[in-house]
Chain A
Amino acid sequence: MGLLLVAVPVLLVLWLIVWPIVVAVFTTFQVDTPKGPAWSLESYSFFFTDGFSLGNLWVTIWTTAVTTVIVIAVALPIALYLRFSNGKLAAYIQSIALFPLFVPSILLAFALIRTIGPNGMLDTLLNAAHLPKIRSPYLTPWGPVIGLTWDNLPLTLLIVLSGLANVSTASVEAARDVGAGSLSILWHIILPRIANSLLVAASFIVLGLFSAFTLPYLLGPAAPEMMGPFMQRTFIDVNNPTEATTQAMITFLFCAVFAVFYVRSVASSQRRRG
């Protein structure tokens, strides 16, 4: 009976996720020869020898790394503050920090362009304060970094907060009682306990960023571009689905470690909850 109820969604997953990947493996690892399809790494070797493609891959890795570090560096202090404070100020901070969850990417892109873009609000304010103009990050690799940080902050904050909820206040007070200052407590008591949450947050960000499209497309330069816009251009404008699929497979590969970690972590927390 249960099988019947779950049949449709499961089949959907099989048809639209598992099957396309299988097909992708076949189309990208094969090449058409006069004798019929044959196994070959030609698609991949093209990618890895093409300077243009490699440049895009590189900027994706760079953007992902920088954004992940910045997001966690911002989210962690806020999460720690929220965990150990209460009151109206803390409630306000939590509401604001979670607000980006309710701002869709395109609207965010538009807002950021109008703020940090050329002649945007930032330029206006700097001008009014008679400060020198700074080069707008719009249409540089830093543009997507700013947008993606903004976008990923709430989810990361939620994940870290969820991990921090498992650190009991009594264990922190016990540490203070035996003489630990705030830094010692952070390093010896809190971080070991939330290490898993931090890794889950990082995995989430990496998986999201490696395939981000809207924000890099609208805020980043035309070249080098991140893998998301690159794949879209290859598929539609260049009209080369095989090459696009190869690019997709390569993103899968680079995220594989994080994907495995993410799946295992969620699976084990599900098992723990029964």
Chain B
Amino acid sequence: MTDTSLTATAAPRLSRRIDWPGIGFAAFLSLVILVPLLVVAIWAFTEVWRYPSILPQKFGLRFWGATLGRNDVWSALSTSVLLATTVTALSTAICLPAAFAFARLNFPGRNIFFLSFLTVHAFPKFGLYVTIATIFLGLGLVGTFWGVVLIQLVSTLMFMVWIPVAAFQGVDRRLEEAARDVGASPARVFFYITLPQALPAIIAAVLLTFVGTFYETEGAWLIGAPTVRTMPLVMITFINSEVVVQYGAVLSVVLWVPSFILMLFARRFLGPQALGRGLGA
């Protein structure tokens, strides 16, 4: 039922307003967050860069060979990988069954024990490390590989319990009931239905743990130094005493690889809401 008197002329098109706040935020964030990382990236591929020129005088890959040829880099790398793998494996083995128990079973003290994992994050972390270090001194664990394993294990506990718990709780019970209905035993249901459904979040948690442990600095230094040297500690030496910037830059790029992989996976498995919720917002 259109008004015939207006059909001769088309109605005016209305323009869209320009999104100034959005542009502002994008520009500000791009500047503040991307520029420092770009600078390091440029340094990694530089041979000569003297102040005050904006870009390097000479690009090149010379320092890649130099950095990767250093002994301290390789031994630290193997230490870090070994450490991260050990901690992640232990954490998974310990925490996943516990997560399942917290999510599905009812037992005395369930709530209290569940909340007890919060205490790890309720105290300032380094202060906690110092108190642990004091105990370790008495136990002779300072400066040992297993001492570092233990202290890094502690900080993984909360995430490795809480995220899988949320994952297990999030599995639709009706899927399991349907499986029981067609004759599957409880064990079968767990391995064929529950676990696969919860798997994405669990994988994300495992990845987070591995990467987090790989980069862990405080505990490793406090307990491990000077015998156990991880990659972050080598990085610190570079920052403090290495005059040639490129070593640190190349190492930064190399070190960033696990984090980059995590970023790709995390986007797929964990939405931002889940992360925020996992932290207790």
B252 touches A96 (CB 8 A): no
Contact residues, B115-155 vs A (CB, 8 A): 115-135, 137, 150-151, 153-154
B281 touches A24 (CB 8 A): no
Contact residue among A89, A211, A214 (Cβ-Cβ distance under 8 Å from B127): A211
- Is A111 an interface residue, CB under 8 A from the partner? yes
A232 touches B23 (CB 8 A): no
- Is B105 an interface residue, CB under 8 A from the partner? yes
- Complex CA gap A103/B32 in Å reads 14
Q: A1-B105, A17-B119, A232-B222 are in contact. Are A102 and B127 (CB under 8 A)?
A: no
**Count, chain B residues at interface, CB 8 A:** 95
- Complex CA gap A214/B256 in Å reads 17
A6 touches B101 (CB 8 A): yes
A106 touches B217 (CB 8 A): yes
| Contact residues in B for A113 (Cβ distance below 8 Å) | 239
- Complex CA gap A242/B260 in Å reads 40
Interface 1/0 per residue, A113-126 and B, CB below 8 Å: 11110011101110
Q: How far is the CB of B239 from chain A (nearest CB, A)?
A: 6
B127 touches A115 (CB 8 A): no
B135 touches A109 (CB 8 A): no
Q: Which residue of A lies closest to B100 (CB)?
A: A5
| Contact residues in A for B128 (Cβ distance below 8 Å) | 17, 20-21, 211, 248
Interface 1/0 per residue, A91-113 and B, CB below 8 Å: 01110111111111111111111
| Contact residues in B for A115 (Cβ distance below 8 Å) | 35-36, 39
A245 touches B130 (CB 8 A): yes
Contact residues, A185-204 vs B (CB, 8 A): 197, 200-201, 204
- Complex CA gap A119/B51 in Å reads 6
Contact residue among B108, B215, B248 (Cβ-Cβ distance under 8 Å from A3): B108
Q: A96-B29, A267-B115 are in contact. Are A123 and B51 (CB under 8 A)?
A: yes
- Is B97 an interface residue, CB under 8 A from the partner? yes
Contact residue among B130, B137, B232, B256 (Cβ-Cβ distance under 8 Å from A247): B130
Interface-centre pick from A9, A17, A162, A259 (highest chain B CB count, 10 A): A9
| Contact residues in B for A260 (Cβ distance below 8 Å) | 122
| Contact residues in A for B25 (Cβ distance below 8 Å) | 77-78, 81, 93
Q: A103-B259, A111-B36, A207-B122 are in contact. Are A89 and B22 (CB under 8 A)?
A: yes
B52 touches A9 (CB 8 A): no
Binds B, one of A29-37, A38-46, A48-56, A249-257: A249-257
- Is B221 an interface residue, CB under 8 A from the partner? yes
- Is B19 an interface residue, CB under 8 A from the partner? yes
A3 touches B130 (CB 8 A): no
Chain A interface size range: 35 or more
B221 touches A104 (CB 8 A): no
- Is B272 an interface residue, CB under 8 A from the partner? yes
Q: A9-B161, A162-B273, A228-B218 are in contact. Are A3 and B122 (CB under 8 A)?
A: no
Q: How far is the CB of A173 from chain B (nearest CB, A)?
A: 17
Contact residue among A1, A165, A236 (Cβ-Cβ distance under 8 Å from B222): A236
- Complex CA gap A2/B100 in Å reads 9
| Contact residues in A for B273 (Cβ distance below 8 Å) | 161-162, 165
B52 touches A124 (CB 8 A): yes
Contact residue among A89, A97, A121, A214 (Cβ-Cβ distance under 8 Å from B23): A89
- Is B236 an interface residue, CB under 8 A from the partner? yes
Contact residues, A12-29 vs B (CB, 8 A): 12-14, 16-21, 23-24, 27
What would 16 more interface pairs be, CB under 8 Å, given A5-B105, A13-B119, A81-B25? Answer: A12-B157, A77-B21, A85-B22, A89-B19, A89-B26, A99-B34, A106-B215, A111-B37, A121-B36, A207-B123, A213-B217, A214-B218, A232-B221, A236-B222, A244-B134, A248-B130
Chain B residues in contact with chain A, CB under 8 A? Answer: 19, 21-23, 25-26, 29-30, 32-37, 39-40, 43, 51-54, 94-95, 97-98, 100-102, 105-110, 113-135, 137, 150-151, 153-154, 157, 161, 215, 217-218, 221-222, 225, 232, 235-236, 238-240, 245, 248-249, 252, 255-256, 259-260, 262-263, 266, 272-273, 275-277, 279-281
Chain A residues in contact with chain B, CB under 8 A? Answer: 1-3, 5-6, 8-10, 12-14, 16-21, 23-24, 27, 77-78, 81, 85, 89-90, 92-94, 96-116, 119-121, 123-125, 127-128, 150, 155, 158-159, 161-163, 165, 197, 200-201, 204, 207-208, 210-214, 218, 227-228, 231-232, 235-236, 241-242, 244-245, 247-249, 251-252, 255, 259-260, 262-263, 265-267, 269-270
Q: List 25 A-B contacts (CB under 8 A).
A: A1-B105, A2-B105, A2-B107, A5-B100, A12-B94, A13-B157, A27-B134, A81-B21, A99-B34, A106-B235, A110-B40, A111-B36, A114-B40, A115-B36, A121-B36, A124-B54, A207-B123, A210-B124, A213-B218, A214-B232, A247-B127, A251-B126, A255-B123, A255-B124, A259-B122
